[in-house]
Structure 1
């Protein structure tokens, strides 16, 4: 990995100022509310985050990805609890991850979330909340002391944190809905590892190409990894497809946002893939990632080398 993508993850600690009524998946309310607030207070910044596109005089590696579909330079992860109603004074958290140049937009993102809570309101009843504080994530959650709020972590640092792990069994737990496509169709079963890896490496390269220093993994290494991925098999899984619909205020129609939930255990020599899987924990994988979809956690089976 010779190039890098800067990543910064912020955990917003919030408290309900009045009752808040939320949908089944809170990501729709948070994503829509965040976008609405941002467009109200800073329309130009809204376009940078929600309608990204080629810069006027960008470097060559910022050419549009296939299909001209620029991924948004952020992931907004909503609270993951199962509560649909937050009573007054109920604490909750959401996470905002920014990529590359978007990290400089943190202050306006913070202001937008404060405006959402104090003025616009959240959920079906426009419940109000306040932002009580913000923490910035680190690679080592046990690290003591505070980091500067604009502290970014490079993709190289995230990947290297997994070095030294030797495992032949690894579980991926899909915390939020995973939406991977095979051809033009959503894959509704536990994904074979080569498919999962291909989508992950594609997302990492696209993000780094558009918002970083260029591709994280070059074609020869990527081809080698894909060949090795063919040796990885699924030992067990408990995945299920979970359908969910949301109304898009921008498109004025109901949209289906189903995805896979559960866990998949892969068996084989997983060591070469761990750095890339570690990066995926930070950037998510699959469709609708800016809504918080595609979040997974890896659970390696630590064994002596």
Structure 2
């Protein structure tokens, strides 16, 4: 059983007009200013502070991309009626360097992964970045401009959901968590990561992305069987640590602490059935707050 999720990657090179100050983790800053400026440009009925109250939100580019509100008249699978919103059809991959000061003449690069139907909205994201540069970002709302942009063609990420995978046997692999991974299990943040935690999160994320942003005709996936297999995978070594960082939420008008796990963790067992799912997670990330870059990881090693 195979699920294919179309995506493309938008690459933007930018340069500050003067000195530009950014936090060490920059994804939240870009996510915030891109959303605010695009809403200002595209919103027709600006009298509504909450998109859910707007009669036009089902046909609004901004509401689809940045608010991603489910249609209340349609039944939702996967118990999604419990959630006020659904995963956004994009992932911002901000500059990975930790530097916080960019001088005039220096450049930084941002990648934005557009998922499913959002692959058609490349012009909207370029407009959003241009408006964000005109508005300003970071300390003092310093301005920047796009020096170059390009995009890939549309790729299709294939995920095989098969309890008896045909992929070559994999008995061990290491995941490097590059940005904080925030997973919820049992209504609590996961601080002691087990393999089934990340598989549960990826199964939920991939199936929901597919249903809302690719096609409602999603094939039956052996979720329980895969979770049962995932629970048998052992942790060989863990060098994870909890990392807290702060962001300011303009919507909630307060500072928020968003902690997550970073570091390396090695798993061992029959990992083959999960390999394509984990590869998809490298592109689409895992856990909470993926739209501004959290939950990014890399498969470092695999052995037979």
Give the alignment's TM-score, normalised by structure 1.
0.85
Structure 1 residue 208 displacement after superposition = 0.6
Structure 1 residue 283 displacement after superposition = 0.8
- After superposition, the C-alpha distances for 1:32-88 in whole angstroms (9 at most, x for unaligned) are 111122112222422221111235887x77898241331111111211101011111
Q: Is the 8 A contact 1:205 1:215 kept in 2?
A: no
The match for 1:9 is: 9
Match of 1:246, SS state, is: strand
Selected match of 2:147 from 124, 129, 132: 132
Q: Partners in 1 of 2:180 and 2:217 — Cα distance?
A: 26
Structure 1 unaligned residues grouped into runs of 5+: 138-150
Selected match of 2:175 from 153, 156, 172: 172
Q: Which moved more, 1:290-299 or 1:61-70?
A: 61-70
- After superposition, the C-alpha distances for 1:218-264 in whole angstroms (9 at most, x for unaligned) are 34x22222122122111111111111122211111121111111011
Q: Partners in 2 of 1:94 and 1:165 — Cα distance?
A: 34
Selected match of 1:103 from 107, 112, 119: 119
Q: Which moved more, 1:126-135 or 1:203-212?
A: 126-135
Q: Partners in 2 of 1:192 and 1:217 — Cα distance?
A: 27
- After superposition, the C-alpha distances for 1:78-137 in whole angstroms (9 at most, x for unaligned) are 1110101111111111111112222211101101101211x1111112222221222335
Q: Partners in 2 of 1:279 and 1:152 — Cα distance?
A: 15
- In structure 2, relative to structure 1, the CA distance for the partners of 1:233 and 1:294 (3 Å cut) is same
Selected match of 2:156 from 141, 154, 157: 154
Q: Partners in 2 of 1:284 and 1:130 — Cα distance?
A: 27
Q: Partners in 2 of 1:95 and 1:54 — Cα distance?
A: 26
Q: Is the 8 A contact 1:38 1:45 kept in 2?
A: no
Q: Partners in 1 of 2:31 and 2:184 — Cα distance?
A: 22
Q: Partners in 1 of 2:111 and 2:97 — Cα distance?
A: 13
Runs of 4+ in 1 over 6 A off after TM superposition: 60-64
The match for 2:280 is: 279
Q: Is the 8 A contact 1:77 1:95 kept in 2?
A: yes
- In structure 2, relative to structure 1, the CA distance for the partners of 1:186 and 1:61 (3 Å cut) is closer
Q: Partners in 2 of 1:266 and 1:200 — Cα distance?
A: 16
Structure 1 residue 164 displacement after superposition = 4.6
Q: Is the 8 A contact 2:159 2:276 kept in 1?
A: no
Q: Partners in 2 of 1:63 and 1:285 — Cα distance?
A: 17
Selected match of 1:186 from 167, 189, 208: 189
Match of 1:4, SS state, is: strand
Structure 1 residue 213 displacement after superposition = 2.0
Q: Which moved more, 1:171-180 or 1:6-15?
A: 6-15
Equivalent residue runs for 1:1-305 within 5 Å: 1-43=1-43, 44-55=60-71, 65-68=80-83, 69-117=85-133, 119-137=134-152, 151-156=153-158, 164-189=167-192, 191-214=193-216, 218-219=220-221, 221-303=222-304
Match of 2:247, SS state, is: strand
Give the alignment's TM-score, normalised by structure 2.
0.85
Match of 1:5, SS state, is: strand
Structure 1 residue 286 displacement after superposition = 0.4
Aligned length: 284
Q: Is the 8 A contact 1:3 1:214 kept in 2?
A: no
Structure 1 residue 175 displacement after superposition = 0.8
Q: Partners in 2 of 1:106 and 1:64 — Cα distance?
A: 31
Q: Partners in 2 of 1:131 and 1:50 — Cα distance?
A: 21
Structure 2 unaligned residues grouped into runs of 5+: 44-59
